[in-house]
Amino acid sequence: MQNELVTVTGGGGFIGGALVADLRSRGYSKIRAVDIKPLDEWYQKFPDVENLVLDLNLKENCHRAAQGAYQVFNLAANMGGMGFIEANKALCMLSVLINTHMLQASQSHGVKRYFYSSSACVYNGDKQRDPDNPGLKEEDAYPALAEDGYGWEKLFSERMCRHFREDYGLCTRVARFHNVYGPWGTWDGGREKAPAAICRKVIAAKLSFMYIDDCILGVRKIMDSDIEEPINLGSSEMVSVNQLVDIVEEIAGVKLKRVYDLDAPKGVMGRNSDNTLIKQYLGWEPGIPLRHGLEKTYAWIHDQYVARENGLAVVK
C-alpha cells in the first residue's frame, strides 16, 4: 500500500499533520493532504506531499480529494476546545457535510479503506457527571445524549459510516478520540485544549489526555484492523484539571496561585477511556504517561512562546 495514494483530510491540522508526517516516515510516496486553511496556516506541510487548499463542505471538492485514492483518512472538522465547541454549535454541526460528501466521493472513486475520526463527545453526558467515573465503554454512547452540536454531528457521522459499509461495501473504520495533545497542537487563540492552555499559562507566569504519538499509532492499527464498530482511542489514565496543573508546575519549576473561573465553559466533570475493547482486538492501548507527553508538549510550546515574544513567526 505504500505505493498507493493516501488522502488525509484535515491535513493542515494538528492530528492530520502528524499523520502525514508519520506516513512519510513509513515510506508512503503518494500522499494528498487537504485542508481549508491557507497553506501558511498549516501546522505542518511537506514539499513532497500534494497539498490542496479545499473547502470540503462542498461536494465537488470532496471528489477532488478522493479521486485516485486507495485510502482516505477523514480528520476534517470544525472543532476546538470546549469554549469553541460551546460557542459554535451550528458550525460544528455543519461538519456533517464534510463526512457525508467524503463518503459519497470515496464510494464513487473506489476508495478501499476509509477512516473517520470521531470523538468522546459522542458519549452520554449523564455518564460523565462524576469525576471518578470508571471509564467510558463504547456502548455508553447509547441511549444518546451527546455533547450538543459537535457530539451529535460525530454520532450521526459514525452511523453514516456504518451504513455506507453495510449498504455499499465501503470498508469504514471509526475511532473515538479522547483529548489528543502534543507538540504542533493549538496552544493559543481559543481553540486549544486544556493541556496546551495550561502549559501556555504556566509559561506566561514564568516568563485523561492522549499523546499525539499514541493517537497516530492507534489510527494506523484501527485502519488496518477488522474492527467494524466505533472504538475508543484514548488514555485510560484519569486526571483532574488540578492534577494537570500540578504536573505542569513540576515541569516548569514554578508554583501558581490558582483562580477558578466557574463561569467559563466546563464540559463534562470526568472522562476517560475504557480500553477493554481495543485491548481485546489489538492487544494494545495508548500507554504514553501524561507526565512524559506533557514534558515534550511544554518544551515545544515554551519555544513557540519565546519565539512569539521575540517577534518571530510561530504555530498557534
pLDDT tens sequence across 174-186 = 999 987 877 755 5
pLDDT of residue 132: 63
**pLDDT band, very low/low/confident/very high, at 254 (cuts 50, 70, 90):** confident
Q: Which residue has the higher pLDDT, 20 or 43?
A: 20
Residue that the C-alpha cell 497553506 belongs to: 39
pTM score: 0.81
Work out the pLDDT band at 207, boundaries 50, 70, 90. Answer: very low
* Across 87-91, 184-188, 200-204, least confident range: 200-204
Which range is least confidently modeled, 51-55, 100-104, 221-225, 296-300?
A: 296-300
- The mean of the pLDDT values for the chain is 85
Is 79:85 a contact under the CB 8 Å cutoff?
yes
Q: Look at residue 130 in the predicted model and tell me its pLDDT.
A: 64
Helix H segments across the chain? 14-25, 59-66, 82-87, 89-93, 95-108, 150-168, 194-206, 212-223, 241-252, 276-282, 290-309
- The Cα–Cα gap between 165 and 102 comes to 14
Among residues 150, 181, 211, 305, which one is catalytic? Answer: 150
| Cβ(201)–Cβ(142) below 8 Å | no
Of 229, 220, 225, 98, nearest to 165 (Cα)? 229
Catalytic site residue 305? no
Please tell me the total number of residues recorded for the chain in this structure: 316
First vs last C-alpha separation in the chain: 34
Q: Where are the domains of the chain?
A: 6-185+210-236+271-288
262 Cβ contact partners less than 8 Å away, ≥ 6 residues apart:
none
Q: Which of 72-86, 95-109, 129-143, 157-171 has the lowest mean pLDDT?
A: 129-143
- Can you tell me whether residue 136 is helix, strand or coil? strand
Give residue 77's identity as a one-letter amino acid code.
Answer: A
Q: Which CATH architecture has domain 6-185+210-236+271-288?
A: 3-Layer(aba) Sandwich (3.40)
Q: Sign of the C-alpha dihedral, residues 63, 67, 70, 73?
A: negative
Q: Is there a cis peptide before residue 286, judged by omega within 30 degrees of 0?
A: no
Query: What confidence score (pLDDT) does residue 255 get?
Result: 77
pLDDT for res 46: 96
Selection from 279, 239, 271, 284 nearest residue 141 by Cα: 271
Evaluate the CA torsion angle 141, 148, 79, 93 in order and state its sign: positive
- Give the residue-averaged pLDDT of 129-157: 87
Q: Using the predicted structure, report yes or no on whether residue 202 has a pLDDT greater than 60.
A: no
- How do residues 297-310 score in pLDDT, each as one tens digit? 878 777 887 787 77
Does residue 205 surpass a pLDDT of 80? no
